[in-house]
A and B are shown apart, each in its own frame.
Chain A
Amino acid sequence: MAVSILHRATGVALTFAGLGLLTWWLVALSTGPEAYETFTTAAKHPLGIVVLVGLTWSFFQHLLSGIRHLIMDSGQGFELGVNKTLAILTVVGSVLLTFALWFTLLGVAK
C-alpha cells in the first residue's frame, strides 16, 4: 500500500520538478554561461540541494517500485511475504542508491 502510493507521489514529483528542472537546465545550457551560472547557483543553494536529493531519491524509488510493478504485472510476487519483502527492498534500495550517488557527487567517498 505505502509503496504503491509512493510510486504515484514520486511520479508526480518527477513530472513537475524533474522534467521542469531538466528543461530549465537545458535552456540555461543553451543560453550561455551566465544563464547556466544562475542555474548552478540555485542548484548549490541548500534548498536546491534538498530538492535535488529529493528528486534523485524519487527517481530511484520510482524506478525500483516500477520494476516491482512490472514483476507483479507478470503475475508473480503476490504472496504476502514475497510482496512485502519486495516493497521494503524498493525503499532500502532507493535510499542506498541516493546515498551512493551523492557521496560520489560530493566526493565524500572516493
Chain B
Amino acid sequence: MTRGDSASPLGQVRGLGSAHHGGEHWLTERVTSIALLLLGVWLIASLLLLPSLDQRTVVEWLRAPSGAVPMALLIIIGFRHALDGIKVVVDDYVHEEGNRFFWNTLLLFLAVGGAALALFALARIAFGAAA
C-alpha cells in the first residue's frame, strides 16, 4: 500500500508498522525507557542506602513523599513500558489477527490490574493504613 505524495510527513507514518500505530508507540517506549533508567537507579540506590530491609524500615521509607512519589512513578511507567515492550513481542510472533487481539487484550488487563494492585498497596503504606 502506498500513500500519495500529498500526505504530510506525519500522515505518511501514521498507522504504519506491524502494530499499525505509526511512530507513537516507538517513541513512547523510548521516552519511558529514559524515565525508568532514572527510577531504576533510584530504587537500587535507595534500597542500598536503607539501614535495614525489615518491614518497619521499608514502610517508613515509603511513607515519606521522597519514597512514595518515585515509587508510584516507577509502578505506572514500569507497567506501561513493559506492556509496550511485550506488545512488540506479540506483534512479531503472533500473526493471526484474532490471536493477536486475544494476547494483547489479556496482557493489557494483566498490566492494568497489576499496576492497580501495586498502587493500592503503595497507597495503603503511604497513607499509613499498613500495619
Q: List 14 A-B contacts (CB under 8 A).
A: A8-B89, A14-B82, A19-B82, A22-B74, A23-B118, A26-B122, A29-B125, A30-B122, A33-B56, A36-B55, A66-B33, A73-B30, A104-B48, A105-B48
Q: How far is the CB of A78 from chain B (nearest CB, A)?
A: 18
Band of interface residues on B: 20 to 34
Nearest A residue (CB) for B59: A29
* Pair B85/A23 contact, Cβ less than 8 Å: no
Nearest B residue (CB) for A70: B30
Question: A: which residues have CB within 8 A of B?
Answer: 8, 11-12, 14-15, 19-20, 22-23, 26-27, 29-33, 36-37, 40, 56, 59, 63, 66-67, 70, 73, 101, 104-105
Q: How far is the CB of B88 from chain A (nearest CB, A)?
A: 8
Q: Which are the 10 A-B pairs with shortest beta-carbon distances?
A: A32-B131, A26-B121, A15-B82, A36-B55, A30-B124, A30-B121, A23-B118, A30-B130, A27-B121, A11-B85
